[in-house]
Amino acid sequence: MSVQERLIKPAHLIDMDDIIREGNPTLREVAEEVTLPLSDEDIILGEKMLQFLKNSQDPVMAEKLGLRGGVGLAAPQLDIKKRIIAVLVPNPEDAEGNPPTEAYSIQEIMYNPKIVAHSVQNAALADGEGCLSVDRPVEGYVIRHSRVTVEYFDKNGQAQKIKLKGYNSIVVQHEIDHINGVMFYDRINIAEPFKVEDGLILLD
Ligand SMILES: [Zn+2]
């Protein structure tokens, strides 16, 4: 049985044991495009990936399943060499602690996502990045495009084109890197990890 066949079984919930860690060569490979129309197997895998992110952000489920919180997951992190990513970025509570009107600023499964345009301006998260496949802190600014335009196919097989900025832009670029065999620390300036180049936007 393939990894994908195992992960898409109805009773299976993706957990940390399904996620491969740095050192596994799959994380350094360029993943294959998925075929359109999407197969049921690829649709279900995408749904399972998004469900993992939801569980990882739910305190009860995360505790029960022993999950690290995550906002993005790419199929190669499950040892599946396909160009599929899921992203789930929650909106914050308001100042009084009330839940946001919209729960998520982005909630999407993307098949064959591709950056088709980007800003000249760069951005990085002020606190750096983490990764479910990296079990150690890596400090430094991860230099990315500030804004990107991404084309992809959604779970219905419809072509989509979105413009992203801020945190969502960073998350989607991190996940697209995974399907190209790139790790976030590849984008840190090793000699000067906290160097602020001209025009670099630091995001809180
Ligand atoms: Zn990652």
| Domains of the chain (ranges, CATH numbers) | 3-203 (3.90.45.10)
pLDDT of residue 94: 85
What's the rounded mean pLDDT across residues 37-45? 98
**Catalytic one of 5, 32, 63, 175:** 175
Q: With b meaning 16 or more CB within 10 Å and e meaning fewer, what string describes 140-156? A: bbbebbbbbbbebbebe
User: Per the structure block, which two tokens stand in for 85?
Assistant: 């990513």
User: Per the structure block, which two tokens stand in for 107?
Assistant: 């909630």
Q: What is the pTM of this model?
A: 0.97
What's the rounded mean pLDDT across residues 161-182? 98
Q: Which residues contact 72 (CB under 8 A, 6 or more apart)?
A: 53, 85, 86, 87, 88, 171, 172, 174, 175
pLDDT tens-place string over residues 87-140: 999 999 888 989 999 999 999 999 999 999 999 999 999 999 999 999 999 999
Q: How far is the CA of 88 from the centre of ligand 1 (A)?
A: 13
pLDDT of residue 198: 87
Binding site feature residues for Fe cation: 131, 174, 178
**Contact predicate 72/133, CB 8 Å:** no
Q: How far is the CA of 22 from the centre of ligand 1 (A)?
A: 10
Per DSSP (E only), the strands in 9-103 are 72-74, 84-90
pLDDT of residue 95: 86
**Contact predicate 56/14, CB 8 Å:** no
